[in-house]
């Protein structure tokens, strides 16, 4: 009988669009003699996920006959103010469920989740369910990879990088004079032996090292030959100037200077110009929001499942969540299998396809008006070399409503250009630049934008695919630039571009504990596509 009763109740709840989470919630529902008050309260509060806690909160909003019987007798004035219902003849106490309020209450502002005070609901006015999706993909390597891994591909790869960024340096006015090839400068080096007769070169930097005197030594190479260079920090140089911060191996730079014996004495280094960017915005009639997250690591023993359930509750009940139209997951949705030695000791789910199946189940808790965009990362089941293609169609079939793209990917949401990159190369930027640390991943993101390249270093910590065209070059300044990978969190602005380092959903790992690194998990970043106002919602 109990099983039949639960079957009937579950069908009624499903018909009302409600989802029951957990055995405790099911037990409480089985004890109810009438589901109508619970369904009415859920509809009134826009709740779709029924947990043990949410059931108690909902029943406190619209009382049942049972809890009214146990309550203290209500006064005549209270019963008239709060509800229109019948009264018990012997006591005058209200019975039954609340039907409608008699008195009109003053409207009160929607509650702020977690006490946040850094966003205003006026900045997030749109209901996402009222707006159609508008996703335009500008670049995705999926299905377009043409490399065969030959030496000719590698030469084409670096030649294209040099050509693209050289054009940016010239067209952007970053160079003091027209650049010449290194071979031409070397042939005419007798003309350029003093600061009065400087020459400008453009090439790929490598073999960067610091001298005891504090000078930066490096090799510059273009299509014609290479050249040993020395740069003394200019007077008053910023700590972020390459002469003090360093150079990334294989990044393209311009240099000005003169020859001194067989070396080139550089007076300055020129990076591609990044001027103040004017962001595109979605129209007022499409002022919806995008939420950003990365590194969920489903399958790991350190995946934070209770906090995920808390986020799903928020998505199905909070006013700000009603504005979220897009959910961008920037890689490492699962922990993977065989990613590093001994990983099996840290896995709660040891089958790769089961990990992706569980991720799909977790994402099903999001409201149906939210469109999910999923990129791969270095833990995902794709080639490690970047740019990475989207997840395999065999994996995608478990996901009913998601857009799968490669890593990195450039796309627009209602005209707002987003550059999403998992961020593996942050490891190389930490190793290469003095200003970048794992606790400040935003410094790596700024360096990527300034250098117009997501992952310049060949042979470092980030595998690169030698495509005939280097698609890791940042060809157009994005309105929103988002990464993940190192399990931090940051939202800020760099010369007009909103930069988001997405939070993780994984607790501190053994390796992070050994390094003394504390992640910043369970923070959902929400960006209004019309105003670019942001909210960071913590669930830990």
**pLDDT class of 205 with cuts at 50, 70, 90:** very high
pLDDT of residue 74: 38
Residues 222 and 515: their CA atoms lie apart, in Å, by 39
pLDDT of residue 37: 81
pTM listed for this prediction: 0.78
What average pLDDT does the structure give for the chain? Answer: 86
Q: pLDDT tens digit string along 108-147?
A: 344 444 445 555 667 676 789 989 999 999 999 999 999 9
- pLDDT above 70 covers a percentage of the chain that reads 86
Is residue 515 pLDDT above 60, yes or no? yes
pLDDT of residue 28: 84
Residues 495 and 450: their CA atoms lie apart, in Å, by 10
For domain 130-144+276-538, say whether CATH 3.90.1150.10 is its number.
no
pLDDT of residue 108: 38
Q: Is the dihedral of CA 286, 291, 292, 296 positive or negative?
A: negative
Q: pLDDT tens digit string along 356-385?
A: 999 999 999 999 999 999 999 999 999 999
> Given the structure tokens 């010239």, which residue do they identify?
170
Is residue 209 pLDDT above 80, yes or no? yes
What average pLDDT does range 93-97 have in this prediction? 40
pLDDT of residue 347: 95
**Whether the Cβ atoms of residue 405 and residue 377 lie closer than 8 Å to each other:** no
Domains of the chain: which residue ranges?
A: 2-116, 130-144+276-538, 175-270
pLDDT of residue 42: 76
pLDDT of residue 117: 55
pLDDT of residue 57: 75
pLDDT of residue 8: 75
| CATH number for region 175-270 | 2.40.50.140
Residues 103 and 434: their CA atoms lie apart, in Å, by 65
Is residue 10 pLDDT above 80, yes or no? no
pLDDT of residue 238: 85
> Given the structure tokens 């109990």, which residue do they identify?
2
Q: pLDDT tens digit string along 258-297?
A: 999 889 999 999 999 999 999 999 998 888 999 999 999 9
**pLDDT class of 5 with cuts at 50, 70, 90:** low
**Cα dist from 81 to 99, 103, 105, 106, 334, whole Å:** 12, 6, 9, 13, 52
pLDDT of residue 160: 97
């Amino acid at each position: 009988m109990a099983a039949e009763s639960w079957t009937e109740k579950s069908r009624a709840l499903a018909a009302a669009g409600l989802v029951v989470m957990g055995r405790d919630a099911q037990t409480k529902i089985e004890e109810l003699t009438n589901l109508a008050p619970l369904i009415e309260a859920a509809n009134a509060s826009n709740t779709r996920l029924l947990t043990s806690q949410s059931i108690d909160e909902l029943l406190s909003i619209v009382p049942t006959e049972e809890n009214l019987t146990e309550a203290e007798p209500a006064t005549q004035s209270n019963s008239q103010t709060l509800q229109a219902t019948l009264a018990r003849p012997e006591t005058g106490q209200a019975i039954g469920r609340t039907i409608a309020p008699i008195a009109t209450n003053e409207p009160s502002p929607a509650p702020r989740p977690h006490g946040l005070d850094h966003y205003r609901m006026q900045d997030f006015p749109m209901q996402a369910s009222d707006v159609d999706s508008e996703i335009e993909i500008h670049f995705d390597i999926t299905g377009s990879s043409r490399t065969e891994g030959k030496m000719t591909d590698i030469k084409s790869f670096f030649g294209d990088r040099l050509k693209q960024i050289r054009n940016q340096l010239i067209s952007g006015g970053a160079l003091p004079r027209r650049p010449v090839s290194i071979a031409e400068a070397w042939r005419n080096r007798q003309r350029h032996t003093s600061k009065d007769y400087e020459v400008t070169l453009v090439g790929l930097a490598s073999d960067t090292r610091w001298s005891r005197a504090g000078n930066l030594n490096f090799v510059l190479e273009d299509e014609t030959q290479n050249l040993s260079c020395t740069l003394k920090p200019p007077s008053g140089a910023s700590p972020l100037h390459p002469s003090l911060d360093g150079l990334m191996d294989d990044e393209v730079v311009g240099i000005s200077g003169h020859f001194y014996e067989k070396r080139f004495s550089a007076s300055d280094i020129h990076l591609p110009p990044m001027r103040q960017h004017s962001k595109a915005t979605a129209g007022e009639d499409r002022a919806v929001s995008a939420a950003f997250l990365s590194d969920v690591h489903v399958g790991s023993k350190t995946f934070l499942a209770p906090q995920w359930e808390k986020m799903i509750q928020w998505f199905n009940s909070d006013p700000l969540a009603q504005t979220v139209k897009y959910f961008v997951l920037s890689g490492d949705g699962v922990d993977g299998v065989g990613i590093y030695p001994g990983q099996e000791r840290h896995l709660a789910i040891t089958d790769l396809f089961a990990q992706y199946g569980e991720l799909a189940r977790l994402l099903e808790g999001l409201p149906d008006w939210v469109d999910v965009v999923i990129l791969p990362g270095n833990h995902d089941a794709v080639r490690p070399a970047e740019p990475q293609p989207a997840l395999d169609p065999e994996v995608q079939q478990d996901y009913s409503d998601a857009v799968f793209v490669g890593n990195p990917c450039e796309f627009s949401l209602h005209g707002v250009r987003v550059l999403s990159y998992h961020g593996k190369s942050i490891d190389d930027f930490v190793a290469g630049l003095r200003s970048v640390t794992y606790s400040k991943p935003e410094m790596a993101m700024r360096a990527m934008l300034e250098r117009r390249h997501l992952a310049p270093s060949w042979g470092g910590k980030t595998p690169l695919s030698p495509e005939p065209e280097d698609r890791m070059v940042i060809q157009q300044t994005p309105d929103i630039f988002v990464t993940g990978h190192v399990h931090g969190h940051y939202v800020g602005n760099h010369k007009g571009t909103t930069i988001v380092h997405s939070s993780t959903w994984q607790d501190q790992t053994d390796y992070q504990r050994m390094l003394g690194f504390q992640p910043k998990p369970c923070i959902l970043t929400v960006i209004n596509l019309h105003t670019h106002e942001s909210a960071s919602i913590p669930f830990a």
